[in-house]
Amino acid sequence: MIKRNDILENLKSKKYDLLVIGGGITGAGIALDAASRGLSVALVEKGDFASGTSSKSTKLIHGGLRYLKQLDFSLVHEVGRERAIVHKLAPNLVKPEKMLLPLVKNGTYGKLLSSFGLALYDFLAGVKKEECRKMLNKEDSLQVEPLLNEETLLGSGLYYEYRTDDARLTIEIIKSAIERSADCLNYIELKDFDYKHDGSMHYAKCVDHISKEEFMIEAELIVNSTGPWVDKVRLKQQKEESLNKRLHLTKGIHLVVDYEKFPIKQSVYFDEKLKGRMLFAIPRDKTTYIGTTDTNYSGSLDDIRVTKEDEDYVLKAVNSIFPEINLSASDIKSSWAGLRPLIHQEGKSPSELSRKDEIFESEDGLISIAGGKLTGYRKMSERIVDRVSQKLKERSIISNTKKCITEKLKLDSSNFESEEAMFNYRETLRDYLRTYFEDNYFADHIFDNYGLNASKILDYFKHIKIEQENIKNENAIVIAELIYGIDYEMINSVLDFCERRSSYLYFDIDLIKESKELILREMSIRLSWNDFRLDSERKILDEALEKSFVFV
């Protein structure tokens, strides 16, 4: 079990080689890389792990096909290669996803360009032979996806991406870092920096939002990997005019509908005519989700919403290429909105901005990283830890700089002995849960998301069924998953579980509505909430359950 108080005491008393500010995918990757090289590492996150951008992506580990159009071959090559690596590191969590690219009249991609582009994409990304692209004519395309608009369709390209759960990937990396002695804690906010007599920055003043206690963390080096908050952290020790580069935030939103309403046979990467962008439609379990937008953003970083304008745009785009489904606002079950922390480039539109990461270093020694993509988290982390290691060596804190080993470091929950062992494990879960459920939905859910730790969830489930004979099976498995998250994944609030650990809030919102009071009661008991905290968490969940958080 992960004991929050033990980690908190370490943060107060130890001196670290490296302190990472920010618990998204980049910060998590940095913590794991540094810890696996033998550095002493702390990581703090002001909210929950992955509560910012790292739970709001399109949930794809993808190679960035659209970057070919920008002639950014090096980015396509790097993230394409990383896509395959991340799949090997977490094969239950990062899975191949067949993707259809419809070619339409007056569309972004023509037949020849698409055929060449997809072939080049396969080459740059190092795609396996069985996953290489296939070009389809109009008839074959409609056979593959009958919902496409027959009047505008010319043909299609069929290729592969990889699908994941971004928040789950982040928490599994965090847990793997903790297994290697990193001290990682959520709900710890950086308030300010402090300095030694020589002017070097070695301290972070923090507040624990659980206990309300303020304390200091000491570290030789500090990395700022806070995503959209990077500039805000930089401004704690730099003047705005001294920022040689700054962030350019853009917003992306996704809408979720029932699969029965939008029953596509596989994921589709499609053209929309309103703004000349490409959108994804991706089937997942009982739902299909659609996105993403790419619009400039200047509002609150802590309250990003889906607006009526966002909603209308996505619905119109979907209905233009899938005219038979006729989606409307009443079909939306849930949604999410997040920010991309891109590097500002004068005169460029949101979609034209580079997705490459950049590293900034202040005179006082704060190292900041921004930009980049979910797919490239491991290489971003490697570049940061290479720089950190070199600085520590120069300061005689370490004797030598070790090489990155994360390319071959399977996440602890995904460390199956072989592919056969992984599939056998999944079948064992399915066999056991068939006694309680008609299909494999819950067995596959806990296998995909928790890997080898699914067995622990089953243990909790068995005890619940013994102790509460009348509880519904669906509620019992949800509570078992919740208890596991409290014991092993630092769940502290209702959205930690409903949104980021389980993703039920997005992809099975009806299950959360049905289990709401059981979830709140279990959390109240296990986390010792008083009545005020319980009422506050109930209000938070009720607001989240209001269909899709849309602002009119």
Q: What is the 3-state secondary structure (H, E, C) of 455-506?
A: HHHHHHHHHHHHHCCCCCHHHHHHHHHHHHHHHHCCCCCHHHHHHHHCCHHH
Exposed e or buried b per residue across 443-480, where buried means at least 16 C-beta atoms within 10 angstroms of its C-beta = bbbbbbbbbbbbebbbebbeebeeeeeeeeebbbbbbb
Judgement on whether residues 114 and 254 belong to the same structural domain of the protein: yes
Strand ranges (E), 261-383 = 267-271, 278-284, 287-291, 295-296, 306-307, 332-343, 358-361, 367-370
Q: Give whole-number Cα distances, 541 to 30, 367, 512, 517, in Å.
A: 32, 36, 9, 10
Residue 282 falls within a domain, yes or no?
yes
Look up the CATH number of the domain holding residue 108.
3.30.9.10
Task: Assess whether 420 and 360 both reside in one domain.
Answer: no
Torsion of CA 468, 471, 474, 477, to 10 degrees: -10
Domain count, the chain: 3
391 and 521 part of one domain: no
**Rg of the chain (C-alpha set):** 23
* 61 is a domain residue: no
- If asked whether residues 133 and 260 sit together in one domain, one would say yes
Collapsing DSSP to helix, strand or coil, 437 comes out as coil
**103 shares its domain with 206:** no
Give the pLDDT confidence score for residue 224 in this predicted structure: 97
Are 358 and 348 members of one domain?
A: no
For residue 107, is it within any domain? yes
Give yes or no for a contact between 43 and 217, defined as CB atoms under 8 angstroms apart.
no
DSSP letter for each residue of 42-100? EEEESSSTT-SGGGSS--EE---GGGGTTT-HHHHHHHHHHHHHHHHH-TTTSEEEEEE
Where residue 12 sits, what CATH number does that domain have? 3.50.50.60
Between CA 54 and CA 381 the distance in angstroms is 15
Place of tokens 């609150």: 300
Distance from C-alpha of 457 to C-alpha of 459, rounded to nearest angstrom: 5
The two counts, helices (H) then strands (E), for the chain are 17, 20
Task: Give CA torsion, residues 440, 443, 448, 454, to 10 deg.
Answer: -170
> What is the predicted pLDDT for the residue at 442?
98
Predicted local distance difference test score (pLDDT) of residue 348: 66
Q: Which helix (H) or strand (E) holds 170?
A: helix 166-179
55 Cβ contact partners less than 8 Å away, ≥ 6 residues apart? 166, 167, 170, 336, 338, 499, 500
The reply to whether 299 and 375 lie within a common domain is: no
pTM for the structure as a whole? 0.95
Judge whether 353 and 345 are in contact, CB under 8 Å.
Answer: yes
Q: Is residue 71 included in any domain, yes or no?
A: no
The set of residues, in sequence order, having a beta carbon less than 8 Å from that of 349 and lying 6+ positions away, is none
- Among 362, 384, 395, 494, residue whose Cα is nearest residue 48: 494
> Helical H runs in 235-307?
none
Nearest residue to 173 (alpha-carbon basis) of 524, 490, 413, 449: 413
359 occurs within a structural domain: yes
- Number of other residues whose CB lies within 10 A of the CB of residue 92: 22
| Domain enclosing residue 514, as ranges | 416-551
Question: Does 75 fall in a domain?
Answer: no
Side chain identity, residue 487: D
CATH number, residue 527: 1.10.8.870
What pLDDT is attached to residue 546? 83
Instruction: Please check whether residues 316 and 403 belong to one and the same domain.
Output: no
> Do 361 and 431 sit in the same domain of this protein?
no
Q: Does a structural domain hold residue 150?
A: yes
Are residues 490 and 546 located together in one domain of the fold?
A: yes
Amino acid at 196: K
Backbone angles phi, psi at 144, to 5 degrees: -70, -40
- 526 and 434 in a common domain: yes
- 16: helix, coil or strand? strand
Q: How many CB atoms lie within 10 A of CB 405?
A: 11
N- to C-terminal Cα separation, the chain: 44
Beta carbons within 8 Å of 123's beta carbon, 6+ residues apart: none
Whether 79 maps to a domain, the answer reads no
Boundary (domain end) residue, out of 308, 329, 352: 352
| Residue whose C-alpha is closest to residue 42's, from 225, 218, 233 | 218
The reply to whether 192 and 180 lie within a common domain is yes
pLDDT tens for each residue of the chain, 552 residues long = 999 999 999 999 999 999 999 999 999 999 999 999 999 999 999 999 999 999 999 999 976 666 666 667 777 777 778 888 999 999 999 998 999 999 998 877 778 878 887 887 778 767 778 788 899 999 999 999 999 999 999 999 998 889 999 999 999 999 999 999 999 999 999 999 998 767 667 899 999 999 999 999 999 999 999 999 999 999 998 877 667 788 999 999 999 999 999 999 999 999 887 777 889 999 999 999 999 998 999 999 999 999 999 999 999 999 999 999 999 999 999 999 999 999 886 666 666 566 678 999 988 889 999 988 899 999 999 999 999 999 999 999 999 989 999 999 999 999 999 999 999 999 999 999 999 999 999 999 999 999 999 999 999 999 999 999 899 999 999 999 999 999 999 999 999 999 999 999 999 999 999 999 999 999 999 999 999 999 999 999 999 998 544 443
